[in-house]
Amino acid sequence: MRSALSSANAKAIIIGPRRGEIHAEGAGSDVKGSTIEADHHFEGQRSTLFDAVFIPSGRHISHLAKNGRAIQYVREAFGHCKAIGAAGFGIAFLRDIAGLPGVQFQHEDSSDVMTSYGVVTTGKLDVKSAATGQLRIEHDEKDFLAEFAHVISQHRCYEREMDGLTAQVAF
Protein backbone atom coordinates (compact mmCIF):
# COMPACT_ATOMS: atom_id res chain seq x y z
CA MET A 1 0.00 0.00 0.00
CA ARG A 2 2.80 2.38 0.92
CA SER A 3 4.59 1.78 -2.41
CA ALA A 4 1.41 2.20 -4.41
CA LEU A 5 0.57 5.51 -2.75
CA SER A 6 4.15 6.70 -3.13
CA SER A 7 3.93 6.05 -6.89
CA ALA A 8 1.29 8.80 -6.99
CA ASN A 9 3.49 11.14 -4.92
CA ALA A 10 1.42 10.60 -1.79
CA LYS A 11 3.19 10.36 1.55
CA ALA A 12 2.15 7.29 3.50
CA ILE A 13 2.81 7.38 7.24
CA ILE A 14 2.72 4.24 9.39
CA ILE A 15 0.93 4.81 12.70
CA GLY A 16 1.24 2.16 15.39
CA PRO A 17 0.83 1.62 19.10
CA ARG A 18 4.33 3.03 19.56
CA ARG A 19 6.98 4.67 17.42
CA GLY A 20 9.79 2.57 16.02
CA GLU A 21 10.26 -0.99 14.91
CA ILE A 22 7.29 -3.33 15.12
CA HIS A 23 7.90 -7.05 14.67
CA ALA A 24 5.60 -9.47 12.92
CA GLU A 25 3.93 -11.91 15.28
CA GLY A 26 6.20 -14.86 16.03
CA ALA A 27 9.22 -13.34 14.27
CA GLY A 28 12.29 -11.76 15.76
CA SER A 29 14.18 -8.75 14.48
CA ASP A 30 16.63 -11.07 12.68
CA VAL A 31 13.99 -12.34 10.20
CA LYS A 32 14.18 -10.35 6.97
CA GLY A 33 10.92 -8.59 6.10
CA SER A 34 9.38 -9.27 9.52
CA THR A 35 9.46 -5.70 10.78
CA ILE A 36 7.92 -2.41 9.83
CA GLU A 37 8.89 0.99 11.12
CA ALA A 38 6.05 2.97 12.70
CA ASP A 39 6.63 6.65 11.98
CA HIS A 40 4.32 7.80 14.78
CA HIS A 41 1.98 6.45 17.43
CA PHE A 42 -1.77 6.89 17.86
CA GLU A 43 -1.44 9.61 20.49
CA GLY A 44 1.34 11.48 18.70
CA GLN A 45 -0.36 12.09 15.36
CA ARG A 46 -4.13 12.49 15.32
CA SER A 47 -6.07 11.13 12.37
CA THR A 48 -7.29 14.65 11.58
CA LEU A 49 -3.78 15.45 10.30
CA PHE A 50 -4.12 12.95 7.45
CA ASP A 51 -6.33 12.60 4.38
CA ALA A 52 -7.08 8.92 4.92
CA VAL A 53 -6.69 5.90 7.15
CA PHE A 54 -6.01 2.36 5.90
CA ILE A 55 -6.30 -0.74 8.06
CA PRO A 56 -4.44 -3.70 6.51
CA SER A 57 -5.41 -7.30 7.11
CA GLY A 58 -3.44 -9.41 9.55
CA ARG A 59 -3.37 -10.92 13.00
CA HIS A 60 -2.50 -7.51 14.43
CA ILE A 61 -6.22 -6.72 14.28
CA SER A 62 -6.79 -8.60 17.54
CA HIS A 63 -4.32 -6.21 19.20
CA LEU A 64 -5.90 -3.15 17.61
CA ALA A 65 -9.31 -4.31 18.84
CA LYS A 66 -7.99 -4.07 22.43
CA ASN A 67 -6.42 -0.65 21.92
CA GLY A 68 -8.83 2.17 22.77
CA ARG A 69 -6.53 4.72 21.10
CA ALA A 70 -6.62 2.80 17.81
CA ILE A 71 -10.42 2.58 17.95
CA GLN A 72 -10.68 6.28 18.74
CA TYR A 73 -8.26 7.04 15.89
CA VAL A 74 -10.52 5.42 13.31
CA ARG A 75 -13.72 6.85 14.80
CA GLU A 76 -12.19 10.33 14.77
CA ALA A 77 -11.25 9.94 11.09
CA PHE A 78 -14.82 8.85 10.37
CA GLY A 79 -16.24 11.80 12.30
CA HIS A 80 -14.07 14.19 10.31
CA CYS A 81 -15.29 12.65 7.02
CA LYS A 82 -11.85 11.28 6.10
CA ALA A 83 -11.41 8.45 3.60
CA ILE A 84 -11.05 5.06 5.28
CA GLY A 85 -9.90 1.83 3.69
CA ALA A 86 -9.63 -1.72 4.99
CA ALA A 87 -8.77 -5.13 3.66
CA GLY A 88 -9.39 -8.63 5.01
CA PHE A 89 -9.47 -8.73 8.81
CA GLY A 90 -9.40 -4.92 8.83
CA ILE A 91 -13.04 -5.00 7.73
CA ALA A 92 -14.09 -6.75 10.95
CA PHE A 93 -12.22 -4.10 12.93
CA LEU A 94 -14.22 -1.32 11.22
CA ARG A 95 -17.54 -3.14 11.38
CA ASP A 96 -17.41 -4.84 14.79
CA ILE A 97 -14.96 -2.81 16.86
CA ALA A 98 -15.01 0.76 15.56
CA GLY A 99 -18.75 0.46 14.92
CA LEU A 100 -19.08 2.90 12.03
CA PRO A 101 -22.82 3.59 11.66
CA GLY A 102 -24.62 3.32 8.32
CA VAL A 103 -21.63 1.91 6.44
CA GLN A 104 -21.88 -1.23 4.31
CA PHE A 105 -18.79 -3.43 4.22
CA GLN A 106 -17.50 -5.95 1.71
CA HIS A 107 -17.40 -9.56 2.90
CA GLU A 108 -13.95 -10.63 4.11
CA ASP A 109 -13.80 -13.48 1.57
CA SER A 110 -14.60 -11.37 -1.48
CA SER A 111 -12.10 -9.84 -3.86
CA ASP A 112 -14.70 -7.26 -4.96
CA VAL A 113 -14.47 -3.70 -3.72
CA MET A 114 -17.25 -1.89 -1.88
CA THR A 115 -17.42 1.83 -1.18
CA SER A 116 -19.94 3.13 1.32
CA TYR A 117 -19.82 6.64 2.76
CA GLY A 118 -16.16 7.04 1.86
CA VAL A 119 -15.19 3.71 3.43
CA VAL A 120 -13.56 1.40 0.87
CA THR A 121 -13.29 -2.29 1.72
CA THR A 122 -12.16 -5.49 0.06
CA GLY A 123 -11.72 -8.94 1.49
CA LYS A 124 -8.71 -9.78 -0.61
CA LEU A 125 -6.34 -7.00 -1.56
CA ASP A 126 -4.96 -7.54 -5.04
CA VAL A 127 -1.60 -5.82 -5.36
CA LYS A 128 -1.22 -6.46 -9.09
CA SER A 129 -2.21 -2.87 -9.84
CA ALA A 130 0.50 -1.64 -7.46
CA ALA A 131 3.12 -3.61 -9.36
CA THR A 132 2.69 -1.44 -12.45
CA GLY A 133 4.44 1.38 -10.61
CA GLN A 134 1.69 3.86 -11.39
CA LEU A 135 -1.39 4.21 -9.23
CA ARG A 136 -4.60 4.94 -11.11
CA ILE A 137 -6.92 7.40 -9.42
CA GLU A 138 -10.39 6.52 -10.68
CA HIS A 139 -13.67 4.99 -9.61
CA ASP A 140 -13.16 1.25 -10.07
CA GLU A 141 -15.22 -1.37 -8.23
CA LYS A 142 -12.69 -4.10 -9.09
CA ASP A 143 -9.42 -2.35 -8.14
CA PHE A 144 -9.13 -1.47 -4.46
CA LEU A 145 -6.10 0.79 -4.91
CA ALA A 146 -7.69 2.84 -7.72
CA GLU A 147 -10.97 3.14 -5.79
CA PHE A 148 -9.27 4.08 -2.51
CA ALA A 149 -7.15 6.68 -4.32
CA HIS A 150 -10.33 8.04 -5.93
CA VAL A 151 -12.08 8.36 -2.55
CA ILE A 152 -9.00 10.07 -1.08
CA SER A 153 -8.96 12.51 -4.04
CA GLN A 154 -12.49 13.61 -3.10
CA HIS A 155 -10.87 15.12 0.04
CA ARG A 156 -13.76 14.27 2.37
CA CYS A 157 -17.01 12.34 2.38
CA TYR A 158 -19.54 14.97 3.40
CA GLU A 159 -22.44 12.56 2.78
CA ARG A 160 -21.67 11.15 6.24
CA GLU A 161 -22.37 14.53 7.77
CA MET A 162 -25.40 15.21 5.57
CA ASP A 163 -26.95 11.87 6.55
CA GLY A 164 -26.23 12.40 10.26
CA LEU A 165 -23.69 9.60 10.61
CA THR A 166 -20.90 11.74 12.05
CA ALA A 167 -23.16 12.84 14.90
CA GLN A 168 -23.59 9.17 15.87
CA VAL A 169 -19.86 8.64 16.49
CA ALA A 170 -18.22 9.78 19.70
CA PHE A 171 -14.55 10.61 19.21
pLDDT digits (tens, 9 = 90+) for 35-58: 788 899 888 889 999 999 999 998
Beta strand segments in the chain, E: 15-16, 20-23, 35-38, 40-41, 52-55, 83-87, 113-116, 119-122
Contact 83, 120 (CB under 8 A): yes
CATH number for 2-19+35-168: choose from 3.40.50.880, 3.40.50.970, 3.40.250.10, 3.90.650.10: 3.40.50.880
Which amino acid, 49? L
What's the CA gap between 58 and 6, in Å, rounded?
22
Domain spans in the chain, listed from the N-terminal domain onward: 2-19+35-168
- Model confidence at 97: pLDDT above 90: yes
What global pTM score does this model have?
0.89
Within the chain, how many helices (H) and strands (E) appear?
Answer: 7, 8
